[in-house]
Structure 1
């Protein structure tokens, strides 16, 4: 294994750690790990942190000399995990008020670890469609991103919200906009029209985080 990328890929395989999990442990973007694995970065200032996060020899990772040294460190690196929340579908999100107290492990696509101010009453959704993808490069949430939603957070004009319209069985992700005494659900993609709302709309929760995954 002559390159850093080869050694890192091998280390990820033998430790069963994904690129995104490694990035989370260190507190950097997953794209930085991906660039090392792809060979775009021949050196990295994160070598020592990577080794500590994986529990391997930093000298081996940096130079290829010696043994990989599995189990060298069990030091947790990165943000503290505060709980797990369910990644659910859009139909479940539309009825979150009714199901949040009874949802079980098997009801969700997966349970995702969360950090910081996100509490266990929140839930996650995988974005579908391009209505929240802004081609102008400003705030944008592309298809496939994961949004973390807080059903207990207060909202105001400009908030990104998950809402359910009357007569719809599933929720939608939009920006809430107040214009005088009128309210709208506005896509970030200007190709889609804003939706006027009143009592026909239930705000399910406010988006606290958007996680863009590159793999």
Structure 2
């Protein structure tokens, strides 16, 4: 901008490309010819099964079941086997920096994504019946599920076989 209401002349061409309009329309206004490469397409909306944490322990059985009654919608390109769970603790909630997932958040899980250290994962540690959501950390030979809330303990794993999926998005109500 040049301090006035019009864009600086050196940026007109770039600005027109970004806005997907022609330079004349940008400078003079008027009716926008919809044939001027205006892309108003919306991202896809996908319906994703909402599973309880207990159901998520055997997610593949529930995904095959056509009588899933609880679903949530998510905008954008979503991996094929995505499902959602609701976090039922404040184990991933923090007041500091970094990722914080508040209690009650809907968490989207991709069971087919390759697990990497640093990922937030849904896991069913040995000897438990309810999956947990934690950050995966690998420190030398140690494999840990680490909460972001320091009031909760880390969980030591023998291997990655208990990982049910990688969490990639959350939705929450305010």
- Relative to its length, the structure with more helix (as a share) is 1
Task: Choose which of 55, 67, 86 in structure 2 pairs with 1:104.
Answer: 67
Partner of 1:118: 78
Give the deviation of 1:138 after TM superposition: 2.7
- Once the two structures are TM-superposed, the CA of residue 199 in structure 1 deviates from its matched residue by 4.0
Kindly indicate whether the alpha-carbon contact (under 8 Å) linking 2:108 and 2:169 is maintained by their aligned counterparts in 1.
yes
- Deviation (angstroms), 1:105: 2.8
The two structures have a TM-score, normalised by structure 1, of: 0.58
Give TM-score, length-normalised by structure 2: 0.70
Tell me the alpha carbon deviations over residues 124-163 of structure 1, each in whole angstroms, 9 at most, x when there is no partner.
Answer: 1111111100121431001011111000011111000000
Instruction: Render the CA deviation track for 1:91-139: whole Å, top value 9, x for unaligned.
Output: 0011113332225233xxx211222231341111111111100121431
After superposition, give the CA deviation of every residue in 1:39-59 in whole Å (9 maximum; x if it has no partner). Answer: xxxxxxxxxxxxxxxxxxxxx
| Partner residue, 1:59 | none
CA distance in 1, matches of 2:66, 2:137: 31
Indicate which of 109, 112, 117 corresponds to 1:152.
Answer: 112
Question: Which runs of 5 or more residues in structure 2 are unaligned?
Answer: 1-39
**CA offset at residue 201 of structure 1?**
5.3
Partner of 1:136: 96
Pair 84,98 (structure 1): closer, same or farther in 2 beyond 3 Å: same
Closer, same or farther: CA 78–145 of 1 in aligned 2, 3 Å: farther
Matched, 1:211 2:167: no
The root-mean-square deviation of aligned C-alpha atoms, in Å, is 2.0
Runs of 4+ in structure 1 over 4 Å off = none
Matched, 1:87 2:50: yes
Contact (CA 8 Å) 2:84, 2:108: kept in 1 or not?
yes
